[in-house]
Amino acid sequence: MLDNIVIIFSLLVTIQSIFSIFLMLYAWEDPERIEKDQPCKKFINPTLSFSVLLPARHEEKVIANTIQGIYDANYPKRLKEILVICKSDDLGTINVVRKKINQIRNGKNSIKLIIFRGGGNQ
């Protein structure tokens, strides 16, 4: 039984490999195909706003970098809102989030800390 599974798996991997090689050779044959399949290089100006809901629980070590990464995303800051959600007993994460908000301090309050009480034990 195990031999059959190994043979079937090997056959599937071989078929997938042959297909991948075919696709590479197809693209290399005509370099213009590669250019046509490239993503857009020019985008319209963003007009839609969005909110990032960022739940955090015992994330003291990484939450500051996560907030910074979202804040630095290639999208207009005026159209982006970051809501960090923490439980009231997670003082370590709450303190780090507050420090990061004060450090960024973009003047528009686009980063907010939401603290809640209750909920399930996790």
Write out pLDDT tens, residues 44-75.
Answer: 889 999 999 999 999 999 999 999 999 999 89
pTM score, whole prediction: 0.64
- Residue 23 has a pLDDT of 82
The tally of CA atoms less than 13 A away on the side-chain side of residue 50 is 11
User: Any long-range contacts for 5-10 (C-beta under 8 Å, 24+ apart)?
Assistant: none
State phi, psi for 52 to the nearest 5 degrees.
Answer: -100, 120
pLDDT (tens digit per residue) in 11-40: 999 999 999 998 888 777 777 777 777 777
More confident residue, 36 or 101: 101
Give CA–CA dist 109/56, Å, rounded.
Answer: 19
DSSP string covering the chain, please? -HHHHHHHHHHHHHHHHHHHHHHHHHHHH-HHHHHHTSPPS--PPP---EEEEEE-SS-TTTHHHHHHHHHTSSS-GGGEEEEEEEETT-HHHHHHHHHHHHHH--SS--EEEEEE------
pLDDT, position 17: 95
Judge whether residue 42 has pLDDT over 90: no
pLDDT at 107: 60
